Amino acid sequence: MNKPAAHSLRRRLLWFVLAAIFLAALLQAATAYRGALQQADAMFDEHLRQMARSLRSGVPLSLPLDEADVDDRFEVYVQIWGQDGTQIFRSTRSALPPRAVLGFSDVEAHGNRYRVYTLQTALQTVQIAQDLDARSARARALAVRAVLPFVFLTPLLMLAVWWVISRSLAPIERARRQVAGRRADDLSPLAAEGLPDEVRPLVDELNLLFGRVRGAFEAQKHFVADAAHELRSPLTALKLQAQALRRGGGTPAEHEAGIARLNQGIDRAIRLVEQLLVLAREEAGETTATSGPGQATSPTPVDLQDVIKLAVADVLPHALHKQIDLGMVAGTPLPQPPRVTGQAEALRVLLRNLLDNAVKYTPAGGRVDVSLAPQDGETVLAVEDSGPGIADQDRERVFDRFFRAAQEGDGADASPPAGSGLGLAIVKAIAGHHGATLELGRSGRLGGLKVEVRFPAAPDSGAV
């Protein structure tokens, strides 16, 4: 595949503008030259006519007309005849024929061409002529004078245009040098001062792109640091358990218990890695949910009732194992299925994490409810449980990564519950990408924790 040829915007602008100026100047000069020739020819004809009229009343007595002009080639030839046809005056060196038609005419005599004007009155006939070659030379000289301003001004205009275009494109060249001279890890915004309005939106979009890439790099750094920090302890524990199993010893029941602990440790490590990957993806802004290898879905209207059904089905086996009543409670009747704009799979992860936490911290035989209702123009998704809840001083921190809050009613020496501390951090990241807000409080019906996710109203809640 052939690579498209590169081109310079500055060179292209200069080429087209300067070529347009040159062609326009050439056309104007040609028009001015032609117009000057026509005006000079008309002026010379008028000169002949005026001289002929001035000689109607008599014959020149003082200055011979052939000496009236300094240029001998531009001299004027005169012939005058009386009523009877007798010639009463003739210029020296005149080569005119003895007769000519009245008015203007072109006459050739003795190898020369003449412009002749003949005027007849009641008393005489006056004939005045000029050498056509001399007239043409004088007309061309006048026409050249008319063209000279174009000859001098066109290069100056082209130089001015070159300077203006180069000056106007200098900020773009400066921005190019800034990008070319940057380090690979320098994602600071480009300076937009002095840029033309046509280029500023491009630089603004580049700065937004730099910001997104910077956020992705930061998320990647956090992921590497978090993975290294959090995986060190469970992997070390798995290694120790494997070494203990290799040494053997003990009863078969103790051996089976060791294998069970090893499997539980592996499951916790797998869960931790999965949550780290989800959190890294969400913090990097990759909120699209994959439906298959290499496939991703863009934000679309999502039916929250379908999301609730799928999330409850995911957590239901765990709830049944602890004999917890898990389900959706009837709320305010909805005129139509509530929809939000987003990714269905990401919202499913959000609700599944909330339900998983609620089931994990609710005592056996307890209850976890999910509700959905409109409120103040928003769609509110709520998860309530009958567990111990979260202490007031920890509610602001539970959305931090790897923070494990103590439950209300625990003693001061109570250890944080088992878990990775990433579930609510993932919930916060997904909610932020959907423009939703999170509120923690106490459930008035069940007495435990109540988590509300408030989604803004979709532009067209009835759209499919």
pLDDT tens across 223-234, in order? 677 666 656 666
11-152 folds as Beta-Lactamase (3.30.450)
For the domain 200-283, what is the CATH code? 1.10.287
Tell me if 460 sits within 8 A of 317, measured CB to CB: no
Which helix (H) or strand (E) segment holds residue 204: the answer is helix 200-247
User: Whole-angstrom Cα distance, residue 313 to residue 101?
Assistant: 117
- Phi then psi for 379, rounded to 5 degrees? -105, 120
Residue 82 corresponds to which tokens in the numbers above? Answer: 């009386």
Residue type, 343: Q
Residue 278 pLDDT > 60, yes or no? yes
Cα 359 from chain centroid?
A: 48
Kindly report the average pLDDT of the chain as a whole number: 76
Question: pLDDT: is 251 or 307 the higher one?
Answer: 307
Residue 61's pLDDT is 43
Question: pLDDT: is 16 or 276 the higher one?
Answer: 16
pLDDT-derived band at 62, boundaries 50, 70, 90: very low
Q: Which of 55-59, 178-182, 290-294, 304-308 has the highest mean pLDDT?
A: 304-308
pLDDT-derived band at 45, boundaries 50, 70, 90: confident
Residue 177's pLDDT is 81
Cα four-point dihedral sign 214, 220, 224, 229: positive
**23-44 pLDDT, tens digit each:** 998 998 888 888 888 888 888 8
Residue 91 corresponds to which tokens in the numbers above? Answer: 């210029």
Residue 421's pLDDT is 63
Average pLDDT over residues 66-83: 63
Question: pLDDT: is 187 or 154 the higher one?
Answer: 154
Residue 5's pLDDT is 56
Residue 257 corresponds to which tokens in the numbers above? Answer: 């218990």
Domain boundaries, the chain: 11-152, 200-283, 300-455
- Among the CATH numbers 3.40.50.720, 3.90.230.10, 3.30.930.10, 3.30.565.10, which is that of 300-455? 3.30.565.10
Residue 289 pLDDT > 80, yes or no? no
Buried b / exposed e across 65-94, counting CB within 10 Å, b at 16+?
A: beeeeeeeebbbbbbbbeeeeeeebebeeb
**326-370 pLDDT, tens digit each:** 888 865 556 566 778 888 888 888 888 889 888 888 898 899 999
User: Whole-angstrom Cα distance, residue 45 to residue 52?
Assistant: 11
User: What distances in angstroms separate CA 143 from CA 39, 138, 236, 380, one per listed residue?
Assistant: 9, 9, 99, 87
User: Whole-angstrom Cα distance, residue 405 to residue 357?
Assistant: 12
Residue 403's pLDDT is 60
By CB atoms closer than 10 A (0-12, 13-18, 19+), residue 37 is: middle
Residue 434's pLDDT is 82
Residue 297 corresponds to which tokens in the numbers above? Answer: 């879905």
Which helix (H) or strand (E) segment holds residue 157: the answer is helix 132-180
Residue 74 pLDDT > 60, yes or no? no
Tell me if 384 sits within 8 A of 413, measured CB to CB: no
Residue type, 339: R
pLDDT-derived band at 69, boundaries 50, 70, 90: very low
Q: Which of 117-126, 317-326, 449-458 has the highest mean pLDDT?
A: 317-326
Residue 401's pLDDT is 62
Question: pLDDT: is 47 or 108 the higher one?
Answer: 47
Place of tokens 């609620």: 358
Tell me if 343 sits within 8 A of 287, measured CB to CB: yes
Give the ranges where 290-363 is alpha helix by DSSP (H). 304-321, 344-361
Judge if pTM exceeds 0.75: no
**191-217 pLDDT, tens digit each:** 777 777 777 888 888 888 888 888 777
**411-453 pLDDT, tens digit each:** 444 444 555 566 777 788 888 888 888 888 888 888 888 888 8
